Amino acid sequence: MIGPNGDIRYSFDEFLQFYKEEYYEQWIKGKNLAIASEGMDEVGNVKKGKEILQHILELLPWNSDILPHVSGSNEDITVVVVYRSPRSIHLQSLWHQCCMQNEPFEEYLATVNSRTWFPFHYLDSLNLAHKFIQGGLKTIIIDMAGVYNKGYDISNVVACDILGANCTPQKHFFGHSDEQPSKANVKNATHSVTQEQMKMIDEAFENYECKFLPFEDHPNLTILYQDALSRVFSKCRERPVNSSTILDKKGLLDMIVQIAKNV
């Protein structure tokens, strides 16, 4: 790893060993481990996702080579995946992070299928959840549309509904019912992509996400605050079985480009 002055502080193996030992130390103290990072989205990467998930699991105390061995298993893991909607807004958020200073949104959309690197796995929330389920892990999808409709804050939902914090029915911590979450890293930018085009992009995503309908009732999957996903899966059920019109990844990106160029 590279230090703030460009000096090499740790090798990659030393970096992993640091986390392995820290996880182990906290676990034997009786603490739970909450590991959160956007980097976890890489598990949905087609080329290296399985390998990344394996590396993550190897760091956990019961899988590590540190002695003495401790109790626990992968059955103790609960993975949380956030499903953002509208999907077009999630795509716009990617543009905010990488390119809004140098490239109009409409140009960004018009080249998503031809870029040397495009982080599609950041958008592919259902595929990400599917990968964790395939890895034998209990997985929770939080439907952000349902959270917003309830007026809750996502951080409180995670704390109250998943981590078991002592909360009121309104998802406030007992003794702190007046807390107001702050917003950070909010970016806004104008663009010429129309609302009709954004709606068509959302419909293309819904088409693509029909491929994940069969695992909706998987015993290792729980969906909290189901709202937008209910509408998506309802539309999917109306399609003919094995419909050839369901888009794959390439078909989705090609469709987005077509929509963007149809100004």
pTM, rounded to two decimals? 0.88
Domain span at residue 57 reads 8-76
Would you call 164 exposed, middle or buried from its count of C-beta atoms within 10 A (0-12, 13-18, 19+)?
A: exposed
**Do 60 and 135 reside in the same domain of the chain?**
no
Sheet holding 138-143, edge to edge: 78-83, 138-143, 221-224
Beta bridge partners of 142: 82, 224
List pLDDT tens digits, range 69-127.
999 999 999 999 999 999 999 999 999 988 988 899 999 999 999 988 899 999 999 99
Element (H, E) at 223: strand 221-224
**Do 51 and 121 reside in the same domain of the chain?**
no
End-to-end CA distance of the chain: 45
Q: Is residue 143 part of a domain?
A: yes
**Do 59 and 82 reside in the same domain of the chain?**
no
The pLDDT of residue 7 is above 80 = no
The residue among 21, 53, 76 that closes a domain is 76
